Amino acid sequence: MKYHLITLGCQMNLSDSERVSSVLESMGYERTENEEEASLLGMLACSVRQKPIDKVYNKIAQWNKWKNKRNVVTFVSGCILPADKEKFLKSFDLIFQMSELAQLPEMIREYGVVTPAGLRTPQPTMPKNEHIAEMWHIKPKYQSTYEAFVPIQNGCDKFCTFCAVPYTRGREVSRPSGEIIDEVRHLVNQGYKSITLLGQNVNSYGLDKNGEEINFAELLRQIGEYGKASGEEFWVYFTSPHPQDMNREVIEVIAAYDCLAKQIHLPMQSGDERVLIKMNRRHSMDKYRHIVADIRELIPQATLFTDIIVGFSSEGEAEFQNTAAAMNEFQFNMAYIAMYSPRPGAASYRWENEVSSDDKKDRLHRLSEILKGHSRAYNETLIGKTMRVLINGTDRKTGFSTGLNEGKLIVRLDCQNNSLMGKIVDVKITSAADFSMSGELQEVFSHSNQ
């Protein structure tokens, strides 16, 4: 028996998919990348944006045609809005919430019976998270031998007006810190080099436990202490924090431990005060500016990434210019820029979308050009320096390898050596491009982590 699984959306869905794979393979299923030979076809969907949902509809239409020729069972889970779930009920054999993952084997054995949660009349309320701990207890089937994602939290309490996550994943629930640290230890012992702590709002970790759990800074500190004692070389990242909850203590902890990667992803979304208020971001630009100042002071070598939405409801040219000015002020190494897309369930879905598609595309292009300039300028400062790089693939150019440095910047190597995959090596930077660098592999020394 073979299964094929498609994962759409963010890293949280990717992490969840590893636990789905673990459950299916414990039933005797074998994963295949060829969906035409699979008898079980599944998707982890993402309702946060329309494009991934369109992909779901296109794919299930294809899969259902195959049922005329052979026996196929289909399922869907992930971040799904009630309105999308209602439509999926007509197309998929099984629909379940990730908190019900432990019951998936029984659902498959009773093929054709959707879960009680799937049968409820969709309402614009948040899903329950009481059983999410059961899903976290499932050991994931990691898709990589050197890079892993560790969920520390599920859900979000922020209710940004553009975001549907509270309605797809529910309120914030923190995973027990002991489980998180144990999983990190296990990964390091298995030789993993890049570990990312995942949550919709990681730096509010523990706040839902009313003092019965440590906070995010202390979680990082305990991981840092383990990394220091282990003597191993590995990098721990986290995504995504919220500026409202980000504080100097977290930055101080990152600065204190080598294993806590010197890369910060700090979503800004807009550089205009009025737009931030309308987004319900709950932070001002002065607050954001203060956080960046702390990062520059305490971790001057850190790279800074962000998220930005252009064309949010009623955003005018003046507001956009404030975002462009913020891009120039903070000189991000990378920004994930998205055109605003209303999503059912989010508060802004009810508002008139006054910014034209052409204006959104133009603003995205203009911010991309600003980003490109700052990224290249920073990369050029690294020419001639030798840095540690985690090799994670081969480049499109024949004979080249590619990797990421600690700051998650792309580095291309003038050689291809499959034995280096998943290892951290020394690379001397020889040239820079807009969003990447090229370099020469230095002598591969013997490290305890290799």
Q: What whole-number distance in Å separates Cα of residue 448 and Cα of residue 150?
A: 24
Write out the two tokens for 208. 């839902």
Q: Which residue matches tokens 């093929």?
A: 111
Rounded to 5 degrees, what angle do the CA atoms 422, 423, 424 make?
130
Which helix (H) or strand (E) element contains residue 145? none
> What are the extents of the domains in the chain?
2-119, 132-380, 386-441
Q: Who's near 211: CB < 8 A, 6+ residues apart? A: none
| pLDDT tens per residue across span 157-208 | 999 999 888 888 888 999 999 999 999 999 999 999 999 999 989 999 999 9
- Residue 130 pLDDT level (bands cut at 50, 70, 90): low
What is the mean predicted confidence (pLDDT) over 111-133? 51
Q: Is CATH 2.40.50 correct for 386-441?
A: yes
Place domain 2-119 in its CATH homologous superfamily: Methylthiotransferase, N-terminal domain (3.40.50.12160)
Q: What whole-number distance in Å separates Cα of residue 248 and Cα of residue 66?
A: 55
Q: What whole-number distance in Å separates Cα of residue 65 and Cα of residue 61?
A: 7
Asked if 26 and 108 touch (Cβ cutoff 8 Å), the reply is: no
| pLDDT tens per residue across span 338-372 | 999 887 778 898 898 789 999 999 999 999 999 99
| pLDDT at position 395 | 77
Which helix (H) or strand (E) element contains residue 334? strand 334-339
pLDDT averaged over every residue in the chain: 90
Place domain 132-380 in its CATH homologous superfamily: tm_1862 like domain (3.80.30.20)
Q: What whole-number distance in Å separates Cα of residue 304 and Cα of residue 170?
A: 29
Write out the two tokens for 234. 């590995």
pTM for the model: 0.87
What is the mean predicted confidence (pLDDT) over 123-129? 51
| pLDDT at position 378 | 98
Q: Which of 302, 313, 15, 234 is nearest to 141 (CA)?
A: 15
| pLDDT at position 81 | 83
| pLDDT at position 128 | 56
Q: What whole-number distance in Å separates Cα of residue 357 and Cα of residue 278?
A: 20
Q: Which residues are paired to 5 by β-bridges?
A: 42
Percentage of the chain beyond pLDDT 90 is: 71
Say which DSSP state 114 is in. -
Which helix (H) or strand (E) element contains residue 244? none
